[in-house]
Structure 1
Amino acid sequence: MTDAKAPVLVGIDGSDDSIRALHWGVRYARAVGAPLHAIGVIPEDLARSEAADDVEESLLAEARSILAADGAPESVVDVRTGKPAEQLVRYAADASAVVMGSRGHGRIADLVVGSVSQHVARQSACPVVVVREAQRPEATRVVVGTDGSEESGHALEWAFAYADAMGVELTVIYGFHTSASSPAILSGFIPTQVGDEIAVAEDMLKEVVAPYEARYPDVTVQREAITVPGAVALADASETAALVVVGSRGRGAFEGMLLGSVSQGLLHRARCSVAVVR
């Protein structure tokens, strides 16, 4: 991955989703040989209340129990005070990845709710994995989207490295618009020019993926050029996947401030965990 010595950072709040994220983070850190840093952030108003000590002790005890039961690698459990999203982004500067639940309703309200995970995915200097229960719990395959851009190249590299470390199959998807109308495609009639477009897309996909296949020869790879927009193709694929990997795009002077439409859509629509890579 990026740096095996940099820790995997996991946001915790005591909710079921953050517990799921912590289990995910342990498996990932162990596979890539990285230490793990679990951090809970207590908002300042809660930190000033009488419940603060109980919340902190409960978070620490629960996280340490999970880490011990899962056989976690070198790990640190920490509780801080401040704005959860800002603190997680701050610690992400020294992490190899941030792992979060998709929503939180635990002892620390709003630690990993959608708005916080969206903020961290926008601002984090490293990949962010938003963990949610897969529609098919038995699924193991990883899906990654590409459009041939440099940004999607970062997602490809991370996805191949992840699949290699975890020993799972990888599907690379390129979703694209065609010159034919949707009704024509859905009817099963594929005009000659669309067939040509698909052939070109498949050739492009093969060329884009080839360097990664060479670097990761042990990864079993499937390539799919699909005549639907990328966001739709990846959302559909998430129904039978354990993880979808996508690049995060920022444009212009505010690069990093806005997620691309595909990655933003997947954080809402995916039926499995999502990794946003930059």
Structure 2
Amino acid sequence: MDDLGDLGTFLQSRRAHVPPESVGVVIGGRRRVAGLRREELAQLAGVSVDYYIRLEQGRATQPSEQVLDALSRALQLDSVAHEYLHKLARQRRRRPQPTSYPAMVRPQLRRILDTLSDCPAMIINHRIDVLAYNRMAGLLYGGLDQVPVGERNLARMIFLDADRFDLYADRTSCTADCVAHLRHAAGEFPDDPELAALIGELSIGSRRFSELWAAAEVSVRGHGSQRLRHPMVGVITLHQERFMLPDGSGQELITLSPEPDSTDADNLRLLANLGADDTGEAWSRP
């Protein structure tokens, strides 16, 4: 696994994913590398081959904004990956110090979770640790209560405990989104040793994670549909909204809601009724 802030590895990974013909490079004969060669990318970005090689090898530590923009265009990065590239370069100009991030959820946020009684809602952090959740989220994500407090990490459950935590109906999309989220988090929080440890653990324990991490896709999914497979009510499609808290803690509020007057809404109500005998003790707990 590359370091969280490894600019060279990110450039190399993205270079390998650019089809030469998509940027006007004429392919002649057999190619020994996937994607673009170093000299081809350097030419497209308007920098010398020697300088680009030094960037990949970590020997050029202060690329200008103009060079980064040119590399981003040549690599066909979207806006999220473009910003990630710039953040990796900025990290090289300072020596980050290990930082801890709060795991406590403010009481006001817990009250918001409890008021959202008809739909699942939770608070996660940038490592996708589940810090708090309401009753409906507890019923939907039934495996959460079986995991000790402090170890409720959705990425770890998805990649390392899939036999017990098989909630996502589309695992291909789910795993790709999860890794792209963690890649983005690595750019936002490069000085978090717990994030580095998590990525190392997942890379060693899951071939799927290791392959996706090496692809260096980076994205932020603010909203969209989630197809979930619950053992009691079957497949249910919910709309996910993610709200990043503005306090720099890395915490997000996630809500999952069905389309009104839909079969999914009926199934969610059925799930709530099936769990009606649960006292709900300590819901929205850490």
Same fold (TM over 0.5): no
Q: Please tell me the TM-score bracket, short chain as reference.
A: under 0.3
TM-score, scaled relative to structure 1: 0.25
